[in-house]
Amino acid sequence: MSRGDLLERTVAAIPPPDLDVAAETARLLDAKTKPPGSLGRLEDLACRIAAIRDAVPSGPLDPAIVVAAADHGVATRGVSAYPQEVTAQMLANFASGGAAICVLAREAGARLVVVDTGVIGGATVAGVRDETVDGVRGTEDLMLGPAMTRSTAVGLIERGIALANELADDGVGIVGLGEMGIANTTSASALAAALLPAEPSAVCGLGTGLDHDGLSRKVDAVSRGLAVLDPNADPIDVLSTVGGLEIAFLVGVTLGAAARRVPVLLDGFITSAAALVAARIRPACVGSMIAATRSPEPGHALVLDALGLEPLLDLRLRLGEGTGAALALPLIRGSIAVLTDMATFDAAGVSGPAEAPAPADV
């Protein structure tokens, strides 16, 4: 099978959410011992999950969180508060179980899949999947030219699709997205600016601790990266020009999960940028997305608005790693538990809403 065939077949297989199943789920929730709609967005969440999976949930979903890591050539431009070697160091921290996402994934009962998609010096980290493509470790500097070749981008997307299929085959019912890569908010900002579209200054934020000068360098990097874009570039061309290796991989996870009717739980700005690329490739995949959290990054709100997604949480998280997705998993579990475990009016012997009195004769 040549490179690109899996991507083409996956995109063609992505279905829209089943609104009839969502309506049936809403009717079942209305029969529970509560006023209709009184659990608010928790009920909406159960209906969305049912629509994505094309079935009324009958029990909790087995969750997995995929954290993809890679390095970025633009990191040498002073667009991050941390040096590039932190990416490899954090990869080892993930593997040893010491990172925030490791703690929160354990608390949420989620399996954690850590993937090296192009970390410089990350080839020998035990417990981490090596999904690098074409031997590429770290993108090129997006200020000087394309971050990666289109072939590499497609190869990474297909690696992500393959992982999504593997997880679905293993019974995973919901996939959270996470990432790690010094300077990847710059790549995410460039993707958002190109695909929304938006001005670089509107999508660039302080990331994990930039000062004012660093923010100015980030805006300049995004502006110069966008300057070489062909106005007629398709989403994969945009991804290969200004994106990241880990972002390309998460585009594939998003598309692959959507094709398998597995809900995709977005984390912060970078994973949402990957989701935006996926949506530009196949708009129907948005129907499989759930936004876990809203980042303080200004570009994140714009991306979520473009995707039509309202986040479940707003905790001012700016770490990434999939931490927001892990924190949202109890809400997912609770929405399904209400549907499957809560008594109905009939079963509990509780009177339902009173009927309106008949009009009095005059």
User: How does 149-166 read in b/e, with b if 16+ C-beta sit within 10 Å?
Assistant: ebebbbbbbbbbbbbbbe
Question: What are the phi and psi torsion angles at 198 (to 5°)?
Answer: -155, 160
- The CA-to-CA distance between both ends of the chain, in Å, stands at 79
Contact by Cβ (8 Å): 255, 161: yes
- With residue 247 as reference, give the H or E element that holds it: helix 245-259
Q: Is 321 a catalytic residue?
A: yes
Contact by Cβ (8 Å): 273, 213: no
314 Cβ neighbours under 8 A, 6+ residues apart: 293, 294
Q: What residue has token string 């890569």?
A: 181
Say how many C-beta atoms besides its own lie within 10 A of residue 353's C-beta: 9
Q: CA 283, CA 16: separation in Å to the nearest integer?
A: 9
Q: CA 26, CA 47: separation in Å to the nearest integer?
A: 6
Distance set, CA 135 to CA 122, 139, 140, 197 (Å) = 12, 11, 13, 32
Q: What is the arrangement of strands in the sheet containing 129-130, beginning at the earlier edge strand?
A: 129-130, 111-116, 63-69, 174-180, 264-266, 289-291
Q: Which residues pair with 264 in a beta bridge?
A: 175, 289
Amino acid letter, 311: P
* Active-site residue, from 158, 199, 321, 355: 321
Comparing CA positions, the residue from 190, 338, 168, 349 lying closest to residue 277 is 190
The catalytic residue positions are 321
